[in-house]
Amino acid sequence: MAPARAHHLLACLLASALLAAASGLMTDQLEVLFGQTQLLNDSNGDQTIALTLDRVMGSAFKSKTSYLFARIDMDIKLVADDSAGTVTTIYLISEKDWNTHDEIDLEFLGNVTGHPYTLHTNIFANGEGGREVQYRLWFDPTQDFHTYSVIWNPDEILILVDNMPIRQFKNHLDSGVPFPIYQPMRLFGCLWDADDWATEGGRVKTDWSQAPFVAYFRNYTADGCVPSSYAWVCGQGPASSSDWFDRGLDDVKQQQQLREAQDKYMIYNYCNDPKRFPDGYPKECGLQ
């Protein structure tokens, strides 16, 4: 992660720690943190969080629970029209030592009207990141809600869009590749300004005449293992009935979908960037 991006995500975390107690808006599982965040309720009692970004500040929420392995699903409708410079993100992150933190990022990079959104993904383990893979979304994510998911178990991390796998990161600890396996992580959602890098490498800046920018989140579900005094690792406590914990990407259809996503929609893969790694690719690039 570039220093500016690390700074913004860390800022979201710090603001969360400082302002969470002052915010009374929350759903059953998510706690609204700061900014001009709205909690919308429809006639069925279903809730939607609307994160807002203006020139003064962004906004954020976090999950009330931390998990050590989980399946996380969230429906998101992204900032419409000219969203250049904005970043809408959901990410799982550990909350102790930043130098050894774990993190799974889904960052949606805004663009000028009519241009496709970029989904930027990254994975940190034991403080080591730089595992960026990017995709062009094959639909307009501002017209309707789409489901974005993370499956994190001891064997792998899967990122899915509308239940279609687009990225798989396997556990190769036995080969010396760090993998997030020891630290619980909490989900955060944030909408923030990153026009120093987000759109065409920072060439296209945020048009504040379009503000406020708004992104919508709903249907958050988390099926995960909650660390406790008797079981800090899944499998030591009561058995889970969910199949995400001990199943990899073993479905033929899903394997085909993963290959299709990589062939059709992937626009950057750190494992295919010789300029960045002139002395050889990271070890995991030859093991996936």
129 inside domain:
yes
> How far apart are alpha carbons 182 and 232 in whole angstroms?
9
Is 200 part of the annotated catalytic residue set?
Answer: no
Chain-wide mean pLDDT for the chain? 86
Residue 200 has pLDDT above 70, yes or no: yes
> How far apart are alpha carbons 9 and 194 in whole angstroms?
11
- Domain range for residue 191? 26-229+245-286
Where do the DSSP E strands lie in 162-202? 164-170, 185-193
Higher-confidence residue: 14 or 166?
Answer: 166
The CATH number given to whatever domain includes residue 147 is: 2.60.120.200
**pLDDT class of 11 with cuts at 50, 70, 90:** very low
Catalytic: which of 107, 156, 200, 260? 107
Buried b / exposed e over 31-63, threshold 16 CB at 10 Å, is bbbbbebeeeeeeeeebbbbbbbeeebbbbbbb
Residue 238 has pLDDT above 50, yes or no: no
**pLDDT class of 79 with cuts at 50, 70, 90:** very high
CB 116 within 8 A of CB 142: no
Catalytic: which of 103, 128, 200, 260? 103
pLDDT of residue 32: 86
19 inside domain:
no
Residue 112 has pLDDT above 50, yes or no: yes
> How far apart are alpha carbons 181 and 101 in whole angstroms?
11
101 inside domain:
yes
112 inside domain:
yes
Residue 242 has pLDDT above 90, yes or no: no
Provide the token pair at 94. Answer: 């550990």
Torsion sign across C-alpha atoms 123, 25, 71, 231? positive
Most confidently modeled of 17-26, 113-122, 222-231?
Answer: 113-122
| Closest residue by Cα to residue 146 from 186, 117, 168, 103 | 117
> How far apart are alpha carbons 25 and 41 in whole angstroms?
12
Task: Confirm whether pTM is higher than 0.95.
Answer: no
16 inside domain:
no
Residue 281 has pLDDT above 90, yes or no: yes
In tens, the pLDDT along 159-194 reads 999 999 999 999 999 999 999 998 999 999 999 999
pLDDT of residue 88: 98
Lowest mean pLDDT among 20-29, 71-80, 95-104, 196-205: 20-29
Is 156 part of the annotated catalytic residue set?
Answer: no
Q: What percent of the chain has pLDDT over 90?
A: 67
**Mean predicted confidence (pLDDT) in 18-27:** 36
91 inside domain:
yes
CB 88 within 8 A of CB 247: no
4 inside domain:
no
165 inside domain:
yes
Structural domains counted in the chain: 1
Most confidently modeled of 206-210, 250-254, 284-288?
Answer: 206-210
Higher-confidence residue: 226 or 117?
Answer: 117
